Amino acid sequence: MLAIARDLFRYNREFALGVALLAVVGGVAALSLVSPYPPNLTYVVPPDVPPSWPYLLGTNSRGQDVFWQLSFAIRNTLAFGLMVALVSRMLALVIGLVAGYLGGWVDRVLMSINDTFLVVPLFPILVLFYFVMRDSMTWALLALVMAGLGWAYDARLIRSLAMSLRTREFTETSVFSGMSVGRILAEEHFPYVLPIVFSTTLNNINWAIGLEVTLAVLGFTDINTPTIGGMIFWANQHTAMVAGIWWWIAFPVALVVATFIGFFLVAIAMNEYIDPRSRLMRTGA
Amino acid sequence: MTSSYPAYLLRRLGQFVLVVFIGINIVFFISHATPIDPVEQTVAAATQFGATSPEAIALMRQSLRELYGLEGGLWEQYAVFWQRIAVADFGPSLSAFPTPVSVLIRRAAPWTVGLWSIATLISWSLGNLLGGLAGYYPRSRALRAAGAVAMALHPIPYYIVGFVLLIVFGYVWPILPITGGYQINLERAFDLRFVASVFRHSLLPALSLILVGLGGWFLGMRSLVSNIVTEDYVVFAELGGVRPRRILASYVMRNALAPQVTGLAMSVSTIYTGVIIIEQVFGYPGLGSLLVYGVLAGDYSLVLGVASVSIIAVALAVLAIDLLYPLVDPRVKAR
């Protein structure tokens, strides 16, 4: 595993760049643990100070240090993405593996539902969800709902892999040796789909963060938990761009863009690594 | 997969019905299985200012229950909900009383459909064309640079790209209109000035959608093409002296088109979400702005109406692409 990472780092520029970006993002998130200010207090520093020492990224109109605010925000945003990705991964794995292995009518039913979830427009539904929940809308609830809506694409991918695994000899051997379906899927097939699941997880994190930022910017989430979208929401509420407080908007946007590109590049590098054809092309064979 | 056209048609129609059925059920479930009562919310909002007599509040509650279709048991409400969907009647809008929600939606829909279809068409064809070229000529410098740009823009969500464009063209270098669908003091007539104004106002929203959308098609087409060029029939065609342009168009890209059309059908809803968000960023007078306005104004029927119409619109668009699919994949027609 370490050797793979080292090789990828050496031969794959996208991977190296992606990891570097994510390291910066992760570093900023980790710094929130040593923040001198609690995240929700306002007017702890002089407002509207441009980037300078000791306020590295300036301060906002609510009297918060943009750097420390940013470190809390990116931590929550990352945690949100991870949580959505983990829960939706479980759904995608179970549905994809079962549909691919069992085939027949189970497959048809599951994939019809799957294709429906691919097609249903999520944003209006999430907005409606916020509309009826209002103040009872919590961070964890939103993550669960999004996980419940965001598994379809990967379930289809996993299913297509599981279908080919079913015809392999080792599957027949396990069937004849009396393994239960659950154990075959968990112990025999699961390791085979793991690499592709890892790469789609990264894309799923991006998808979740993107939607969360969008909802938060509109004020359609729990605005008291600092997130990247929440920061932009407050900046817009204080018309930061018109007032010339550009650092309140530019730094969160830059950091979240680095997050998106970082995850995406690592996912692409993983995909390329999984597909031996493109690996050969890279080495020029 | 080989199948006859009628069987294919039937399957796609079945999928369409399923999408609408499940989608509308999700909307019903979300709007009914929550602890918050929309009637009480509206009442609270309406009585926030000044005293209202208890009788008036009771009367208001009663008429709101009727208006929102919250009368009777859950199954009764469910039946009423489907009836309303069937006749596209979502009751009057509360924030624009007494205009019916369906009128508001009908007014906004052309803007959304126009932006959605044109931006999709441009980003899909341009992305595929450039991606095909990049896959066929992997050593070209310009195409490699295009690939890097596409890769950098692709993972960024619509909101961020739209927002950055808004800042750049609204504050830093203000040359394009950043809000509205047309110049406000112009009369809505079908003349050159009005059309030009509509076009200018659509530039930034469309550009945001195209910038984000382009990358996915580019990357997908490039990897499809770079796999196809190693196929035997392409090698034979090259050895047989077929002109490169013809190989690229009829041998390589033609075969890569089918999965890209499937991809288009699968991303219709993602693009729709993008349109909704971008409209809000640029104050474009479509369904997206209507939806956000509805939420901010506490207009229950309006939000419910836009969400339901969105599901049906996306399902219809997917169906349309599915019906066109046999044009690019002749195997569907073969018996």
Inform me whether the C-beta atom of residue B160 falls under 8 Å from chain A C-beta atoms: yes
Q: Are residues B70 and B107 in the same domain?
A: no
In a domain, B22, yes or no: yes
Contact B315, B85 (CB under 8 A): no
Q: Are residues B153 and B200 in the same domain?
A: yes
Q: What is the mean pLDDT of residues A244-250?
A: 85
Q: Are residues B166 and B301 in the same domain?
A: yes
CA B314: distance to chain centroid?
7
What pLDDT band is residue A94 in, cutting at 50, 70 and 90?
very high
Which pLDDT value is given to residue B197? Answer: 83
Q: Which domain holds residue B30?
A: 5-86
Nearest CA in chain A to B152: A261
Q: Are residues B119 and B60 in the same domain?
A: no
User: How many Cβ atoms are within 10 Å of B73's Cβ, its own excluded?
Assistant: 8
Q: Name every chain B residue with its beta carbon within 8 A of the beta carbon of A129.
A: 30
Inform me whether the C-beta atom of residue A30 falls under 8 Å from chain B C-beta atoms: no
What pLDDT band is residue A59 in, cutting at 50, 70 and 90?
confident
Compute the nearest-CA separation of A127 from chain B (Å).
8
Inform me whether the C-beta atom of residue B163 falls under 8 Å from chain A C-beta atoms: yes
The count of domains in chain B is 2
Which pLDDT value is given to residue B66? Answer: 75
Which pLDDT value is given to residue B34? Answer: 66
Say whether pLDDT at A237 is over 90: no
Of B53, B86, B119, which residue sits at a domain end?
Answer: B86
What pLDDT band is residue A285 in, cutting at 50, 70 and 90?
very low
In a domain, B334, yes or no: no
CA B20: distance to chain centroid?
15
- Cβ neighbors of A124 (< 8 A, separation 6 or more) are B276, B291, B306, B307, B310, B311
What pLDDT band is residue A283 in, cutting at 50, 70 and 90?
low
A59 φ, ψ to 5°? Answer: -125, 155
Which pLDDT value is given to residue B177? Answer: 80
What b/e string do you get for A123-151 counting C-beta neighbours within 10 Å, with b at 16 or more?
bbbbbbbbbbbeeebebeebbebbbebbb
- Asked if A134's CB is within 8 angstroms of B160's CB, the reply is no
Q: Are residues B244 and B284 in the same domain?
A: yes
DSSP character string of A136-163:
G--HHHHHHHHHHHS-HHHHHHHHHHHH
Inform me whether the C-beta atom of residue A217 falls under 8 Å from chain B C-beta atoms: yes
Q: Are residues B139 and B272 in the same domain?
A: yes
What pLDDT band is residue B307 in, cutting at 50, 70 and 90?
very high
Q: Check whether the bond before B98 is cis (ω within 30° of 0).
A: yes
Of B27, B164, B292, the CB nearest to A218: B292
Of A117, A213, A268, the CB nearest to B159: A213
Q: Name every chain A residue with its beta carbon within 8 A of the beta carbon of B19.
A: 115-116, 119-120
List, for residues A169-182, the tens digit of each pLDDT value.
888 888 888 888 88
Q: What are the CA-CA distances from residue A90 to residues A96, A158, B130 (Å)? A: 10, 12, 37
Q: Are residues B109 and B82 in the same domain?
A: no
Task: Report the amino acid identity of residue B310.
Answer: S
For residue B229, give the CATH number of its domain: 1.10.3720.10
Chain B stretch 1-20, residues whose beta carbon is closer than 8 A to a beta carbon of chain A? 15, 18-19
What pLDDT band is residue A280 in, cutting at 50, 70 and 90?
low
Selected residue with higher pLDDT from A97 and B81: A97
List, for residues A185-212, the tens digit of each pLDDT value.
988 888 888 888 888 899 899 999 999 8
Say whether pLDDT at B334 is over 60: no
Q: Are residues B169 and B131 in the same domain?
A: yes
Q: Are residues B108 and B256 in the same domain?
A: yes
- Asked if A128's CB is within 8 angstroms of B31's CB, the reply is yes
Q: Measured between alpha carbons, how far is B261 from B124 in angstroms, rounded to an integer?
A: 9
Q: What is the mean pLDDT of residues B224-241?
A: 89
In a domain, B249, yes or no: yes
What pLDDT band is residue B217 in, cutting at 50, 70 and 90?
very high
Q: Are residues B72 and B174 in the same domain?
A: no
List, for residues B286-301, the tens digit of each pLDDT value.
999 999 988 888 888 8
List, for residues A98-134, the tens digit of each pLDDT value.
999 998 899 989 998 888 888 888 889 999 888 888 7
At B100, is the secondary structure helix, strand, or coil? strand
* Average pLDDT along chain A: 86
Query: Which of A112, A120, A264 is the mutation pick for testing B, counting most B CBs within 10 A?
Result: A120
Of A132, A153, A278, the CB nearest to B36: A132
Q: What is the ipTM of this complex?
A: 0.85
Q: Measured between alpha carbons, how far is A244 from B105 in angstroms, rounded to an integer?
A: 37
In a domain, B94, yes or no: no
Record the pTM. Answer: 0.86
In a domain, B92, yes or no: no
Compute the nearest-CA separation of B156 from chain A (Å).
6
Chain A stretch 66-125, residues whose beta carbon is closer than 8 A to a beta carbon of chain B? 112-113, 115-125
Q: What is the mean pLDDT of residues B304-328?
A: 90
Query: Which of B70, B295, B299, B322 is the mutation pick for testing A, counting most A CBs within 10 A?
Result: B295
Nearest CA in chain A to B300: A131
Q: Measured between alpha carbons, how far is A5 from A270 in angstroms, rounded to an integer?
A: 10
* Average pLDDT along chain B: 85
Nearest CA in chain B to A217: B159
Compute the nearest-CA separation of A42 from chain B (Å).
25
Say whether pLDDT at B30 is over 50: yes
Inform me whether the C-beta atom of residue A201 falls under 8 Å from chain B C-beta atoms: no
Q: Are residues B151 and B255 in the same domain?
A: yes
Q: What is the mean pLDDT of residues A48-55?
A: 80
Q: Name every chain A residue with its beta carbon within 8 A of the beta carbon of B26.
A: 120, 125
Q: Are residues B162 and B196 in the same domain?
A: yes
In a domain, B96, yes or no: no
Which pLDDT value is given to residue B306? Answer: 92
What pLDDT band is residue B132 in, cutting at 50, 70 and 90?
very high
In a domain, B110, yes or no: yes
Nearest CA in chain A to B288: A124
Say whether pLDDT at A77 is over 90: yes
What is the count of residue pairs from A and B with beta carbons less than 8 Å apart? 134
In a domain, B267, yes or no: yes
Show the domains of chain A with their CATH numbers. Answer: 2-283 (1.10.3720.10)
B36: left (phi over 0), alpha (psi -120 to 50) or beta: beta
